[in-house]
Every structure is written in structure tokens, then in C-alpha cells.
A and B are shown apart, each in its own frame.
Chain A
Amino acid sequence: MNNNNFTQVKSGIYEKDEINLGNIIFSLRNHPKIKDVGSILTFTGIVRNTSKDGKLIRNLEIDAYEELANRSINKICKKIKEIPGIIDIIIVHFKGVFDIKDELVHVVVASSHRKEGFRALNLAVEKYKKETAVWKKEVFLDGSSEWVH
């Protein structure tokens, strides 16, 4: 693989469609310790067409306190990288206005073996949901809207 002009994808908040899952995986496959990696596991959150209570959604808006959110995401990544067998993790959360099926977040874990990778991926997803200064507004088909808390 050619590493010339290669820039590592950094975890954090990005504008919608600024980067994609392929960019993140490419970045991890260029990791200096890639020879120790046996699995790359990914979680992608996308926009569902219903709210938790079943209301039909037209689209979704994501707002973020970027300084705070970036700090929390980096803290989560640091914690996950301390787990034995985890080589690297990248968390990318988008902000902006999204349609149904659009990608909202990617969590990608590179690990030596799949078992610790799955555990780390699950932990990272649970943590970013609780600890990252990001909010979503559901805009419903009837034109009403609601921030989820």
C-alpha cells in the first residue's frame, strides 16, 4: 500500500458527508501497527424512519458543541486503546441535516482478534451515546419536531 500523502483520519465531529467509512478503514489499514491487526469492526448509525415511540420521521438534524464533543470522543478513544488487543479506534460523528438512511456516526475498531474488538466496539458505542455533546432533532412527517434528550 502506498503511504505517500497519507493523512490519518482523526476522531471527532465532522460535517455531513465530509468523510466516509471507506476513508476511515483506509486510514486504519495504514496504521503503523497494521501487521498486528486481525480484524476491523465497524458500527454505523443511520437515520431510521420512526422515532422511539413510532412516529414517522421526515428527517433528522444533529447539533454539536464541537470543542466539548471532540474532547469527549478523544477521551473515549484513549480509554478504548488501553484495552489489551485494541490497536486503534476511530469515532466520527456527523452534524447537519440528514435524510432517512443517511449515515450519522461511524465507530471503527482495529484489534488483534475479533472478540476484544466486538467488546470494545460495544463499549465505545455506549460511551459516545452518553458522553458526547451531541443532540438530535427529529422532524416528523406532520411538520412538528422534537429534540431528543
Chain B
Amino acid sequence: MKVEILYFADFKDITGKDGEFLELKENTVEGLASKIFSKYNPIKNLIWDDEIKNLKGNISIVINDKLITNKIKGKMELIDGDKVAFLLPFAGG
């Protein structure tokens, strides 16, 4: 299945892109994260906590422009065509 991932701020600098479509074998947020890590290793340090084997606590995830507040974000399932973004804490001007 294919999902669209959007990149903002640090993510945009690391990838050099606003976003892209990625083909996933595993239909979870974790599956998407590991696909991204294999392409852009520095993103792992940014969002992944190896101790808890999940996204860091300060990382938000947005699926189809909806902010997800579920604590076990990594296990959430994705479906074909979903638009996903990982977000670091906000800092307005």
C-alpha cells in the first residue's frame, strides 16, 4: 500500500522535500517510521525512542490533517492513500 508523508521544519531540511509517496509493507505508523528511517537515518534520532520502542513523547502525528492524540501512536494502523505527518513541538514567531 502507498501513503503520502508530509515533511515540515527539521524533516524538510533532512529530506530536502515537502513530502513524498512511500510504498509500505507493514500498514502501521511504526511501519511507516521504519521505512522513513531506512531512507533518512537522521530522522530516527529526531522522533524515535529506542528504550520504549515507540515515537518520542513530544512527537505528534497527523493523519489526513487530523491530530492523533492516541498514546500508542506507533501501533496505529494506516490505510492506502492516508496522508501522514510527524510533527515536532511548535514554535511560532
Residues of A within 8 A of B (CB): 45, 47, 60, 62-65, 67-68, 71, 93-94, 98, 104-105, 128-137, 147-149
Among B9, B88, B93, which residue has its beta carbon within 8 angstroms of that of A93?
A: B93
Question: Judging by beta carbons under 8 Å apart, are A132 and B92 in contact?
Answer: yes
Q: Mark B38-72, 1 if CB is under 8 A from A, else 0.
A: 00000000000000000000100010010100000
CB of B8 closer than 8 Å to a CB of A: yes
In the complex, what residues of A have CB within 8 A of residue B85's CB? 65
A45 and B93 in contact, given A68-B62, A68-B65 (Cβ under 8 angstroms)? yes
Question: Judging by beta carbons under 8 Å apart, are A63 and B9 in contact?
Answer: yes
Question: Judging by beta carbons under 8 Å apart, are A147 and B87 in contact?
Answer: no
- A contact patch SS: strand
Q: Determine how close the nearest CB of chain B comes to the CB of A55; give it in whole angstroms.
A: 15
Bound together, the chains give a CA A47 to CA B93 distance in angstroms of: 8
Nearest chain A residue, comparing its CB with the CB of B10: A147
Nearest chain B residue, comparing its CB with the CB of A134: B92
Report how many residues on chain B are interfacial, defined by Cβ distance under 8 Å. Answer: 18
Bound together, the chains give a CA A126 to CA B90 distance in angstroms of: 12
CB of B91 closer than 8 Å to a CB of A: yes
A131 and B65 in contact, given A63-B8, A147-B9 (Cβ under 8 angstroms)? no
CB of B6 closer than 8 Å to a CB of A: yes
Q: Given contacts A64-B8, A135-B8, could you give 14 more A-B pairs where the C-beta distance is less than 8 Å?
A: A45-B92, A62-B93, A65-B8, A68-B62, A98-B93, A104-B93, A129-B91, A132-B90, A133-B90, A134-B90, A135-B88, A136-B93, A137-B9, A147-B13
In the complex, what residues of B have CB within 8 A of residue A105's CB? 92-93
In the complex, what residues of A have CB within 8 A of residue B8's CB? 63-65, 133, 135
In the complex, what residues of B have CB within 8 A of residue A147's CB? 9-10, 13, 88, 91
Question: Judging by beta carbons under 8 Å apart, are B92 and A149 in contact?
Answer: no
Among A67, A94, A136, which residue has its beta carbon within 8 angstroms of that of B91?
A: A136
In the complex, what residues of A have CB within 8 A of residue B93's CB? 45, 47, 60, 62, 93-94, 98, 104-105, 134, 136
In the complex, what residues of B have CB within 8 A of residue A64's CB? 8
Nearest chain B residue, comparing its CB with the CB of A137: B9
